[in-house]
A and B are shown apart, each in its own frame.
Chain A
Amino acid sequence: MKKKMVILPCSVIGKAYGEMGRQAIYELIEDLGEEQATTTCLARLMIDDPETKGLVHENLVITVDGCARDCARKNVEFTGKTVSSALRVIDVFKDNRDLKPEGILELGEPGFKLVHHLARKLREEVDRLNRGEA
């Protein structure tokens, strides 16, 4: 049975990267459907919620961090789970220099264009992992 992709953002509240990560994941889940991809709360995992732990440990995990601090990846790995792929929102910004979000939560049109790029990159990762490429 094909494993589900569990995609976890860092959701940093102090930077636009956090909102961009969330929105890209929601876009991807809407695109692929909940049977193939889902998300859950990083904090819920870290308080040892059994349902969340089960979801994460039984499926493949992609983390989406805002920056090089890699909080989502580090937190997931702290629970003993190896992350299958770790993306950073800042890397998508680096590839699309002219697009700057307008605010931390209200991303505006350029911010949402970055979101679409990130969602596309996530989709590529999901497809790559589904093909069995580690």
Chain B
Amino acid sequence: MNDDFMEVTYDKFTFRVRRDYWYHPEECWAKEKDGIITVGVTDFLQKTVGDVAFLELPGAGTELSREGEAGTMETIKATVALISPVSGKIQEVNPLLEENPQLINTDPYGEGWVFRVNPNDWGADRKVLWDAQTYFPKMEAKIKAEMAKK
């Protein structure tokens, strides 16, 4: 039992959800600290799409709107559009991802964070996001749906 994460295992894959983050249906997460929102992609998404080879992200200073486009993530299997769960100005893009985009796969909730945003209205944005307890069963439903496709 892990205090920081909720986990579920299907076959040989363990899917993790960070307890203290907020989640968007498009499989990204947001975490507030000292007024800045860190954004990343979920464990479910990175497991589904595979090893990240390319990232195209907006630069620092870009204005984002909630659920607006925020770049793309490309693997050998798929190209995924990223959205921002919050509105605001990008303060920083994770510099480690330039050389090592696979950090998104190895540590999606930690070192694999994607960008940091100075939010316009975090209170309003957060209201439409899911907490971990709400997101977790929705993630499980998606996992079961993926497995049923086989």
Contacts and interface: CB of A to CB of B under 8 A. Distances in A.
Direct contact of A and B (CB under 8 A): yes
Interface of A: 15-17, 66-68, 90, 93-94, 97, 100-101
A108 to B, nearest CB: 13
Closest 4 CB pairs of A and B: A68-B102, A67-B51, A94-B53, A93-B53
A15 B51 contact: yes
Interface of B: 50-51, 53-54, 74, 76, 100, 102, 105-106
A67 B75 CA distance: 11
A15 B50 contact: yes
B76 A97 contact: no
Contacts of A66: 51
A100 B76 contact: yes
Contact of A16 (B74, B76, B100): B76
Given A17-B76, A93-B76, A100-B76, A67 B102 contact: yes
Given A16-B76, A17-B76, A101-B76, A68 B53 contact: no
A94 B76 CA distance: 9
B76 A68 contact: no
Nearest to B78: A100
Contacts of A68: 51, 100, 102, 105-106
Contacts of B50: 15
Nearest to A99: B76
A97 B105 CA distance: 19
Nearest to B74: A97
Nearest to A66: B51
B53 to A, nearest CB: 5
B54 A90 contact: no
28 contacts: A15-B50, A15-B51, A15-B76, A16-B76, A17-B51, A17-B76, A66-B51, A67-B51, A67-B102, A67-B105, A68-B51, A68-B100, A68-B102, A68-B105, A68-B106, A90-B51, A90-B53, A90-B76, A90-B102, A93-B53, A93-B76, A94-B53, A94-B54, A97-B53, A97-B54, A97-B74, A100-B76, A101-B76
Nearest to B50: A15
A90 B102 CA distance: 10
A68 B52 CA distance: 10
A100 B100 CA distance: 20
